[in-house]
Amino acid sequence: MSIRRIAKLANVSTSTVSRVINNHPYVAEDKRQRVLKVMKDIDYVPNKNAINLSSGQSGIIGLVVPYTRNSCYDQLIESILEEATLHDKKIMLLPTYFDKNLEKDYYALLRDKTVDGIIVTSKTQDDVFLQELSQFGPVVTTEKTKLPDIPSVYPDRLKTYHTVFSYLAKLKSFKKIVVSVSRNKQQSYSTELKMTVFSHYFPEVDVETAFLAGTITYDDGYQLGIRLFNYHKEPLIIYANGDEVAAGFFKASQKAGLIMGKDFYLLGEDNQLFSELLAIDTVDFHLKEVGKKAVRHLISHSKKHEIVSCSLIKR
């Protein structure tokens, strides 16, 4: 049934019906109630696409993530979904798998008004690209960027890495150190930052050798752990990029017959159940807080940067 028919039954104009359907505030209450009653009586369901087209809003937020198969992003995604729901927004999950062309296609959704804004948790495009993209709608990142005018909510990784590597440098009974990362410094600003701070506390260690890229899952940690424990016979420090990866290292250590805290020291990230169950020290980036604040930044069109404090947790 058309809105003309609804207008006739409710004895109002078609423009009044349109305003009621679009929740326009300037409608007399008696007319609004008459229109709503007619819509209920005839079981009228508004065309959401038409409403979105007329309002210029889709009610959808695009969420760019590198992948969904790693638990380190679970907290972030879950908190964004929860906060978006509180604001009557839907989330469109956009996994890139670090494919630059696919990621670029996702960003086109903002230009085409398919989404009202985009939250970027990890990216392959440079900051200039995001800056140019923001002319089409709000863009918020959960990583620190090199350009000050891209709004962001991110963990204080710089301060945290200083805390972590300062602590690890004092563990004198362990002779070697290895840091696992998902991507190399050319692909990830976080890795670049981590390597810079590492060099400050371990100037005698070749940073390029100490950092091992390509670990994302539990199995990645397990396979790398098998190789490391077969190669390194001296007590070893392993700083894993995620508690899931750390759990893989732990499993490999059991197969090698090694004892955590004696034969090796293991540190994870993200304060997940893995580290709690296995008593592995971890870094809490407070990603749930980051996710919720990122949604609020996007909805309010905030141009600010907000840094979230992190914690080193010793089990």
The mean of the pLDDT values for the chain is 90
Strands 281-284 and 264-269: parallel
Domain ranges for the chain: 3-50, 60-154+288-309, 157-285
**pTM recorded for the entire structure:** 0.77
Q: How far apart are CA 87 and CA 16, in angstroms?
A: 26
CATH (one of 3.40.50.300, 3.30.1360.230, 3.40.50.2300, 3.40.1010.10) for 157-285: 3.40.50.2300
172 contacts: CB under 8 Å, gap ≥ 6 = none
Percentage of the chain beyond pLDDT 90 is 60
- The burial of 119, by beta-carbon neighbours within 10 Å (0-12 exposed, 13-18 middle, 19 or more buried), is given as buried
What is the tens place of the pLDDT at every residue in 14-39?
Answer: 888 888 877 777 788 888 899 888 88
Say if residue 219's pLDDT is above 60.
yes
Say if residue 284's pLDDT is above 80.
yes
Q: Which CATH superfamily includes the segment(s) 60-154+288-309? A: Response regulator (3.40.50.2300)
Please tell me if the domain spanning 3-50 has the same topology as the one spanning 60-154+288-309: no
Kindly report the number of other CB atoms within 10 A of residue 259's CB atom: 9
What is the architecture of the domain spanning 3-50?
Orthogonal Bundle (1.10)
